[in-house]
Amino acid sequence: MSNRTTEPPNPPTQPNHRTLLNHLTNLDKSLTTTLHTLTKPLIPPILLKLLELTGDGRLWFPLILSLLYSRLRFRLRHQSLLLPLLVGLVTDIAAVGLIKYLVRRPRPAHNSHPMGPTLSVDRFSFPSGHASRVCFIAAFVDLCGEEGLGGPWIGWVWVWALTTAVSRVLFGRHYVFDVVVGSGVGVVNAYFVYRFFRF
């Protein structure tokens, strides 16, 4: 009977997709930290906080609801857009909340500013709800240009939306990829809400 030496099994190798994901995550963290560190001495925190407030759902929900249920809405030229905006804000918070709950990515370590009262899923970072919300509003207003809502000020709405989205990284609230994906979610949401109410 021959004594065969058995070689130890090869250690399991990580799948390529997991290695790629780790590489992208590390790149995202590095880019985010670099942007935050470089701009921190240059941009006053109060400006970033102000941008945060302008994209907050605690501002937009009461604003849209008050316009819907006040006499002022009868004087608004585009009052028919209020209900789609409200529906879009609801679908936005539902989509972002679901993704945050499933992914559960922690916020950046340098997120040191108090966040105030938030929902439980808001302790997670991916995707950015602010970026999603402001890009939904900008994209929806842009799509409604063919409904007579056009004008040069639509460009300013996009400037506000993109500035607010970028500020989430500079303020330390989110990683770059959180903001990119959040912005995409907002634009896609705007397209579906617009098509639903248009047709």
Model confidence pLDDT, tens digit, residues 75-130 = 555 567 888 999 999 999 999 999 999 999 999 988 877 666 556 677 899 999 99
Residue 136 lies in a domain: yes
59: confidence class by pLDDT, cuts 50, 70, 90? very high
Q: Identify the domain containing residue 142 by its residue range.
A: 17-198
Burial of residue 116 (CB within 10 Å: 0-12, 13-18, 19+) is exposed
CB atoms < 10 A from the CB of 191, how many?
14
Residue 4 lies in a domain: no
Q: Among this protein's residues, is 130 annotated catalytic?
A: yes
Q: How many domains does the chain have?
A: 1
**Is 108 part of a structural domain of the chain?**
yes
Domain assignment present for residue 55? The answer is: yes
pLDDT at residue 113, rounded to an integer: 73
Q: What pLDDT does 155 receive?
A: 87
Burial degree of 30 (CB within 10 A; 0-12, 13-18, 19+):
exposed
Query: Confidence band (pLDDT; 50, 70, 90) for 148?
Result: low
Q: Which of 23, 78, 110, 174 is catalytic?
A: 174
CA angle 16, 18, 22 (to 5 degrees): 115
Q: Is residue 2 part of a domain?
A: no
In a domain, 3, yes or no: no
Phi, psi of 106 (to 5 degrees): -65, 155
- Does residue 1 form part of some domain? no
Q: How many CB atoms within 10 Å of residue 133?
A: 28
- The tens digit of pLDDT for each residue in 15-31 reads 566 788 888 889 999 99
Q: Which amino acid is at 188?
A: V
The pLDDT of residue 70: 75
Single out the catalytic residue among 36, 78, 113, 130.
Answer: 130
Does some domain include residue 7? no
Amino acid at 42: L
